[in-house]
Structure 1
Amino acid sequence: MKKIVSLVVTLLLVSTSLLHAASFDASQLPEKKRTISGKYLSAKGAYEMVTKAPAKVLFVDIRTPEENEYVGIADQVNLNIPYMLNDFSTWDSKKNRYQMSPNSAFTMKIADALAARGLKKTDPIILICRSGDRSAAAADLLTKAGYTNVYSVYEGFEGDKSKEGFRTVNGWKNAGLPWGYKLDQARAYLVF
């Protein structure tokens, strides 16, 4: 019976992603938001996939811990595993912010999170960042590491910028999906 339920859940997840893919033209995305695997979700698509089968999907916010704490986090996110970390000892003059460096533990932490949930490299992993750039790069890293079902939320948590420079175009927050500022220890990224 468990195998039948698991098969039905997997089929629902696949059909949801196929329906989404049929109505989405990835060639319209900026290059930095495109992935090797070509698997994308809108914020609403990610919400639907996660809420249909939360035990069969790993939903990871890959923004920095600071972004999670001060900008908010989606209620459905399982945990924060940053793809990049702020280096507070180095300034990026081009971007007028602290330098960001790759999180060397990223792939290992994803593997640990999957194992803790009883999931495999073939199960769906949804990655969300601020606006879809980092999640695409992180999805590529995981695809190269042998993960076969990694989705990038191309709108991100905050969305793209309007002509006025504000992140009001799309994204999790602008879609009215559930989120908040409460970051509990179970979802927080802790460096050990």
Structure 2
Amino acid sequence: MKKILFLLVTLFIATSQLYAAAFDASQLPKNKQTIAGKYLSAQEAYEMVVKNPGKLLFVDVRTPAEIVYVGIADQVSLNIPYELDDFSTWDGKKNLYRLNLNPAFTQKVAEALAAKALGKSDPVILMCRSGGRSASAADLLTNAGYSNVYSVYDGFEGDMSKEGRRAVNGWKNANLPWGYKLDPQRAYLPK
């Protein structure tokens, strides 16, 4: 039994390193690049989670409003927003309500890892709409001492097409499992 477990862990680590090494990060826009340089496509994230659901944490870092109105991947462990909506302040540059950094982000990730008996060296996969916020969140965790953080570079909805639609890549466009059902175990609860 120990040999089998050892082989599975070894295979998981090798597969994780293969995913990270197989992608040329120089192709990514600067806002999607991370300090650690660990990336997964939505398809690769799905495969990694399905193979090892108890050995990693898969976090959707979008706002709760995005989750409710756009949907969530079935395999996501939980929603921990990197930024939170501030409906009292308008961002004139972006023409929408201001988003503020979630001050509890790293704490909530630490709590989620501890609940799964995992630590800072275990894989954490982060996904947002299209890869920008997940990259920023990955940098925040890397700077906080996490050593195995992946950003899903094409995100849940993917990049914009020439027609202005999010139809190029991403979780939804790869026809991976998702829906609108959000249960309390995966929902972001600030307290």
Q: Which amino acid aligns with 1:144?
A: N
Q: How does 1:67-86 map to 2 (within 5 A)?
A: 67-86=66-85
Whether the 8 Å CA contact 1:90–1:99 is kept in 2: the answer is yes
- Residue aligning to 1:105: 104
> 1:96, CA displacement in angstroms?
1.1
Q: Distance in 2 between matches of 1:6 and 1:29?
A: 36
**2:98 aligns to what SS in structure 1?**
strand
Q: Which amino acid aligns with 1:90?
A: T
1:150-184 Cα distance to aligned partner (Å, 9 max, x none): 00000000000011111000000000000000000
Q: Which amino acid aligns with 1:33?
A: K
> 1:123, CA displacement in angstroms?
0.4
Report how many aligned residue pairs link the two structures: 191
Q: Distance in 2 between matches of 1:25 and 1:75?
A: 28
- Residue aligning to 2:148: 149
Q: Distance in 2 between matches of 1:5 and 1:118?
A: 20
> 1:24, CA displacement in angstroms?
1.4
> 1:46, CA displacement in angstroms?
0.2
Q: Distance in 1 between matches of 2:55 and 2:138?
A: 18
- Residue aligning to 2:89: 90
Superposition RMSD on alpha carbons, in Å?
A: 1.2
- Residue aligning to 1:19: 18
Whether the 8 Å CA contact 1:160–1:169 is kept in 2: the answer is yes
Matched, 1:36 2:35: yes
Structure 1: 5+ residue runs without aligned partners? Answer: none
Sequence identity percentage: 69
Q: Distance in 1 between matches of 2:70 and 2:156?
A: 9
Whether the 8 Å CA contact 2:85–2:99 is kept in 1: the answer is yes
- Residue aligning to 1:8: 7
